[in-house]
Amino acid sequence: MSTIGGPSTAARDDLAQDFVAFAVEAGVLRFGEFKTKAGRLSPYFFNAGLFDDGAKLGRLAEFYARRMQASGLAFDMIFGPAYKGITLAAAVAIELARLGRNLPYAYNRKEAKDHGEGGNLVGAKLHGRVVIIDDVISAGTSVRESVAMIRAAGAEPCGVAIALDRQERATETTQDGVRDADHSAVQFVQRELGLEVCAIATLSDLLQYLARQADPALAQHLPRVQAYRDRYGV
């Protein structure tokens, strides 16, 4: 099972390159030295929380919708895990409706509500094939929690749509407690949970973007990003 959305065709590569350029221009994809959750020093950082106005969020939703439609992934509704996934799911649902496909969406609360409608799920009733939308997959834990909620509600998770696949070795452990250093977090989700992962762009796409840069201020980051990929990539 492979990630949907890599640079396997010219059309997909164009979409990924456009997205990387957009993320850089929006200041969402930055270069420097950043400590990741795994304790690694990364030469780049992707913060989807900085898609922080209507225009940026609308364009981000367009990229998600285009990638999801092109992927061939079959789904009946959208689920956004708290917190970033909530906004992403709503925005993508709006964009898909604009494109002629009106689908229900739902999201979860971090803490169950004990009054009103109660529970920890908000929005449409989970049913059919559910695609999970998030920004990145840094570990399999969050996706696994979403899968459990979806199945507990009687629906079936069918895939995960993310903005960026970092393509680096996972720090997550498998369900039997064995740490897997040979697979990425995305591959962990694919293998352990049996879900397709639909990524708008990957680290390979970022490297292609930097390699094609005429702007020396951007091109200078290529050696460090490539070295990071060589050290931690899969």
Measured N-to-C along each axis, helices 54-71 and 10-25 cross at an angle, to the nearest 10 degrees, of: 160
Specify the pLDDT at position 234: 84
Sequential pLDDT tens for the chain (234 residues): 445 554 444 444 899 999 999 999 999 999 999 998 778 899 999 999 999 999 999 999 999 999 999 999 999 999 999 989 999 999 999 999 999 999 999 999 877 655 445 578 999 999 999 999 999 987 777 899 999 999 999 999 999 999 999 999 876 554 544 444 578 888 888 888 899 999 999 999 999 999 999 999 999 999 999 999 999 998
Domains, the chain, ranges and CATH?
A: 10-232 (3.40.50.2020)
Task: For 13, list phi and psi in degrees, rounded to 5.
Answer: -65, -40
User: Half-sphere exposure of residue 67, counting CA atoms within 13 Å on the CB side?
Assistant: 34
Active site residues: 113, 115
Whole-angstrom distance, CA of residue 191 vs CA of residue 185: 10
Whole-angstrom distance, CA of residue 159 vs CA of residue 46: 22
Answer whether 32's CB lies under 8 Å from 43's CB.
yes
Specify the pLDDT at position 12: 44
pTM given for the model: 0.88
Q: Which residues of 84-115 are buried (b: 16+ CB within 10 A; e: fewer)?
A: bbbbbbbbbbbbbeeeeeeebbbbbeeeeeee
* β-bridge mates for residue 165, sequence order: 202
